C-alpha cells in the first residue's frame, strides 16, 4: 500500500492524517488486522473511519457501543413478529414443514456486525466507543475480529464474504481485555499540533483567513493545556471558526473570546476558568503575531 498515495487520498477525503495514522492505516489494510484507535474525545477517531471508507470506496458500517449492548443489537436477531405470523399463517401444516422455514434467512434481522461480514462488497466496520460496552460484548467481538466469522446456533457459522476493514475506537474509559487488544493494531491519536489544526480548519472552513485559523488553533491548544473537564474537540474548534466568521471577527481578543466561548466549552466551570485566564491565554501570542 503506497503510503503517500493513501495520505493524499485521505486528504482529498477531508481528513488530514499525520504520518503515524497513515502508516497504521496502511498496515491495517495490508495485514488485514483491525485497528484500535485510542485518544480523547474529539480528535477525529470516528472521522478517520469515515475517511478510510471514502478512500477505499467502501460502505461504512457503524456500530455505536453503549452499556448493555448485546448480541441482539450488535449481531443478529430473529424477527419474532414475522415468525409468529408465519406460524399463524401455517395453521394446519405440521411442525416438520414449519421448522425449516422458521429459522430461514428471511426472518433474520441483520445487525451491524453481521452485515459487515455478510456484505458482498467489502466494508469498513467502525465499532465506536468500544470502552462503553460491557466486557461480555468484547468476547463477542473476538471471533469476529480474528477469523472474520460468526457462529449463529440455528444457521451455523457465517464466514465473511469479504474481509471488512475494522476500526475500534476507545476513549480509554476502561481497560480493554488483553484478548481484544492482542487482535488489533494500536493507534493513539492526540490533539493535533497548531499547524495541523490550522490546516484542518482551512480544509473545513475554506473561507477562513489563514492567520485567524492559526490563531484559533493556537488559542485552542492553550485552552487544552488548562485543567478542563472537557477540552475542546477539533469539531468544536471548527464550529468556533464558523462562528468567528459569522460574527465577522478579524482577530481574537478577550471580548470576542468570552462571547464565543460557549461554542467551544460546554461546562460552566470550564467557561469560568477560561474566561478568568482569557488575557493570559491571548497575551503572549498577540505579541508574537504583531511581528
Partner 1 sequence: MVVRGNAGSLPGGMEGLLLELASALRSAEVPVGSGELLDASRALGAISWDDEPTVREALAATLTKTAEHRERFLALWEEVLRHATLRAALDAQRAADPSMGEGGLPGEAQGDADGQGGSGESSGEGQPGGEGDRGGPGGEGSSSAMDLDELSRAVQSALSEGSGMGSGALRDLVRLAIDAAKQQESGVVGVDVQRIRRMLGINRGGQSMEELSDTAVREFTEMLRRELEEQRTMRTGEMPPQRALQQLGRDLSFGQTTDEAAVLKAIHALRRELAVAGHSRRGPRSGPVDLRRTIRASLGTGGVPVDIVPVRQHPKRPQLVALCDVSTSVSSSAVFFLTVISALADAFARLRTWAFIEVADEVTELCLQAQTAQELGRRITKEAKVADVTGYTDYGRVFKQLALDLEDVVDHRTTLIVLGDARTNGRDPGIGAFASLCSRAGRTLWLNPEPELYWDYGDSESARYAKWCEMHRCATASDLAGLARLLTSPGR
> Residues interacting with partner 1, by CB under 8 A?
1, 19-20, 23-24, 26-27, 30-31, 33, 35-36, 38, 172, 175, 178, 181-182, 184-188
How many other CB atoms are found less than 10 A from the CB of residue 153?
6
For partner 1, give the closer residue by CB, 30 or 57: 30
Minimum CB separation of residue 185 from partner 1 in Å reads 5
How many other CB atoms are found less than 10 A from the CB of residue 220?
26
For partner 1, give the closer residue by CB, 26 or 152: 26
182, burial (CB in 10 Å: exposed 0-12, middle 13-18, buried 19+): exposed
Minimum CB separation of residue 193 from partner 1 in Å reads 14
For partner 1, give the closer residue by CB, 26 or 90: 26
Helix (H) or strand (E) holding 187: strand 185-188
Is residue 208 within 8 A of residue 241, CB to CB? The reply is yes
Minimum CB separation of residue 30 from partner 1 in Å reads 4
Minimum CB separation of residue 202 from partner 1 in Å reads 25
Q: What are phi and psi for residue 266, nearest 5 degrees?
A: -120, 15
Minimum CB separation of residue 89 from partner 1 in Å reads 51
Minimum CB separation of residue 183 from partner 1 in Å reads 8
Question: How far is it, in rounded angstroms, from Cα 10 to Cα 209?
Answer: 23
3-state secondary structure 204-269: HCCCCCHHHHHHHHHHHHHHHHCCCCCCCCHHHHHHHHHHHHHCCCCCCCHHHHHHHHHHHCCCHH
Question: How far is it, in rounded angstroms, from Cα 115 to Cα 113?
Answer: 5
Amino acid at each position: 500500500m503506497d503510503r503517500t498515495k493513501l495520505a493524499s487520498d485521505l486528504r482529498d477525503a477531508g481528513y488530514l492524517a499525520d504520518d503515524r495514522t497513515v502508516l497504521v492505516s496502511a498496515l491495517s489494510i495490508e495485514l488485514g488486522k483491525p485497528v484500535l484507535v485510542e485518544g480523547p474525545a474529539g480528535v477525529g477517531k470516528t472521522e478517520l473511519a469515515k475517511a478510510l471508507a471514502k478512500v477505499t470506496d467502501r460502505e461504512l458500517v457503524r456500530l455505536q457501543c453503549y452499556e448493555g449492548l448485546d448480541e441482539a443489537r450488535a449481531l443478529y436477531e430473529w424477527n419474532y413478529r414475522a415468525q409468529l405470523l408465519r406460524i399463524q399463517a401455517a395453521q394446519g401444516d405440521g411442525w416438520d414443514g414449519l421448522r425449516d422455514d422458521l429459522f430461514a434467512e428471511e426472518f433474520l434481522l441483520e445487525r451491524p456486525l453481521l452485515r459487515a461480514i455478510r456484505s458482498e462488497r467489502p466494508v469498513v466496520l467502525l465499532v465506536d466507543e468500544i470502552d462503553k460496552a460491557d466486557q461480555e460484548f468484547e468476547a463477542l467481538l473476538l471471533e469476529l475480529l480474528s477469523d472474520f466469522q460468526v457462529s449463529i446456533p440455528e444457521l451455523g457459522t457465517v464466514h465473511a464474504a469479504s474481509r471488512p476493514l475494522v476500526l475500534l475506537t476507545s476513549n480509554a474509559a476502561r481497560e480493554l481485555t488483553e484478548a481484544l487488544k492482542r487482535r488489533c493494531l494500536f493507534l493513539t491519536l492526540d490533539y493535533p499540533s497548531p499547524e495541523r489544526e490550522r490546516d484542518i480548519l482551512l480544509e473545513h472552513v475554506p473561507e477562513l483567513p489563514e492567520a485567524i485559523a492559526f490563531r484559533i488553533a493556537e488559542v485552542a491548544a492553550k485552552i487544552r493545556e488548562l485543567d478542563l473537564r472537557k477540552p475542546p474537540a477539533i469539531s468544536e474548534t471548527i464550529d468556533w471558526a464558523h462562528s468567528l466568521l459569522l460574527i465577522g471577527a478579524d482577530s481574537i481578543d478577550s471580548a470576542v473570546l468570552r462571547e464565543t466561548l460557549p461554542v467551544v466549552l460546554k461546562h460552566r466551570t470550564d467557561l469560568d476558568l477560561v474566561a478568568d485566564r482569557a488575557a493570559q491565554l491571548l497575551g503572549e501570542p498577540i505579541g508574537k503575531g504583531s511581528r
